[in-house]
């Protein structure tokens, strides 16, 4: 059964993180929140395209050709977006989603001590404290939908959303353009996610679907650890049991970087990194700083 028709699709002002499948959940009251979200995204993306990325690409060139302050750039961590632009598909790895079960756990980690999302090389102990995606909220959500597909009212998520509705605080998302102010809308919302799951089961993983790539970071030991974004799609792939999914390396630990580059810098360092990434595999073990190890 189609979840939306052409009239819905034409009238639906897609939100920054929206999907046409959510068109039936659009409400006119969401128009201004969606426009504000788009304004914020447009300003950010325009700045990055006009200023941020060109500056970062120039800084990376200075480092690659060992200009003055090249060492300072590497000490800082190198501009991530410029590294991504330079390496592109070399940062994409194909892994078994059921092996990609560890994710960075920032709980209790002071924000000022967290690595910068703008840097490609990360310092610190971020890779030693990690969560288990098999017990995460996204995997529970997708599994619950699949288990109760014949009666979605029995799902935990339905009960949570219905409780908010009964309390007069219906759940909404201006990033997705969704307002769940009726039981019918809640069920439609859950059916959309179930349709995503079933489409993946029938057609496989579509890397072009979804706003974000499945990002990972390389630990000091050369293991892949999931970072935020794309967690619902990963949970679907895990539940279905797909043989592999594409993931994109967004950052690497400095200790791993220094070990694989062996003192070289610039283009030679990037060649070493490209070769070493092919040997990286998902981290499956708990971390020494996980809460239960304390």
pLDDT at 114 over 60: yes
> Residue 8's pLDDT band (boundaries 50, 70, 90)?
very low
Q: Give the model's pLDDT for residue 9.
A: 38
Sequence-ordered list of residues with C-beta below 8 angstroms from that of 202, at least 6 positions apart, any chain: none
Specify which residues 104 forms β-bridges with: 130
Sequence-ordered list of residues with C-beta below 8 angstroms from that of 45, at least 6 positions apart, any chain: none
Q: Give the model's pLDDT for residue 11.
A: 43
Q: Rounded to 5 degrees, what are φ and ψ at 122?
A: -110, 135
pLDDT at 87 over 90: yes
179-219 pLDDT, tens digit per residue, is 899 999 999 999 999 999 999 999 999 988 777 789 999 99
Residues 250, 229: Cα–Cα separation, whole Å: 11
Specify which residues 217 forms β-bridges with: 225, 251
Mean pLDDT of 90-97: 97
122-172 pLDDT, tens digit per residue, is 999 999 999 999 999 999 999 999 999 999 999 999 999 999 999 999 998
Q: Give the model's pLDDT for residue 229.
A: 83
Sequence-ordered list of residues with C-beta below 8 angstroms from that of 179, at least 6 positions apart, any chain: 25, 26, 27, 29, 30, 170, 172, 185
Specify which residues 253 forms β-bridges with: 122
pLDDT at 26 over 90: no
> Residue 30's pLDDT band (boundaries 50, 70, 90)?
confident
Mean of all residue pLDDT scores within the chain: 89
pLDDT at 12 over 70: no
| Contact call for residues 86 and 60 (beta carbons, < 8 A) | yes
213-257 pLDDT, tens digit per residue, is 899 999 999 999 999 889 999 999 999 999 999 999 999 999 999
């Amino acid at each position: 059964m189609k979840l939306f028709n052409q009239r819905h699709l034409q009238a639906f002002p897609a939100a920054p993180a929206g999907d046409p499948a959510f068109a039936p959940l659009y409400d006119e009251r969401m128009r201004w929140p969606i426009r504000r979200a788009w304004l914020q995204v447009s300003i950010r993306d325009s700045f990055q395209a006009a200023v941020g990325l060109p500056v970062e690409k120039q800084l990376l060139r200075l480092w690659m050709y060992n200009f003055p302050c090249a060492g300072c750039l590497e000490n800082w961590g190198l501009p991530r977006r410029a590294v991504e632009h330079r390496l592109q598909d070399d940062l994409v790895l194909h892994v078994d989603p059921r092996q990609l079960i560890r994710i960075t756990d920032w709980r209790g980690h002071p924000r000022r001590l967290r690595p910068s999302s703008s840097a490609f090389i990360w310092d610190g102990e971020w890779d030693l404290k990690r969560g288990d995606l098999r017990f995460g909220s996204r995997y529970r959500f997708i599994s619950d939908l699949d288990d109760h597909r014949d009666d979605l009212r029995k799902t935990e998520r339905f009960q949570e959303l219905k409780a908010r509705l009964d309390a007069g605080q219906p759940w909404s998302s201006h990033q997705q353009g969704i307002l769940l102010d009726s039981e019918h809308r809640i069920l439609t919302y859950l059916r959309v996610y179930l349709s995503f799951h079933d489409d993946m089961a029938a057609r496989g993983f579509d890397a072009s679907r979804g706003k974000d790539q499945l990002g990972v970071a390389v630990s000091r030991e050369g293991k892949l650890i999931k970072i935020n974004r794309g967690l619902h799609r990963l949970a679907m792939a895990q539940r279905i049991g797909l043989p592999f999914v594409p993931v994109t390396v967004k950052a690497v630990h400095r200790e791993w970087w220094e070990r694989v580059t062996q003192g070289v810098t610039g283009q030679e360092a990037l060649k070493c990194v490209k070769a070493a990434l092919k040997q990286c595999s998902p981290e499956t073990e708990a971390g020494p700083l996980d809460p239960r190890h304390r």
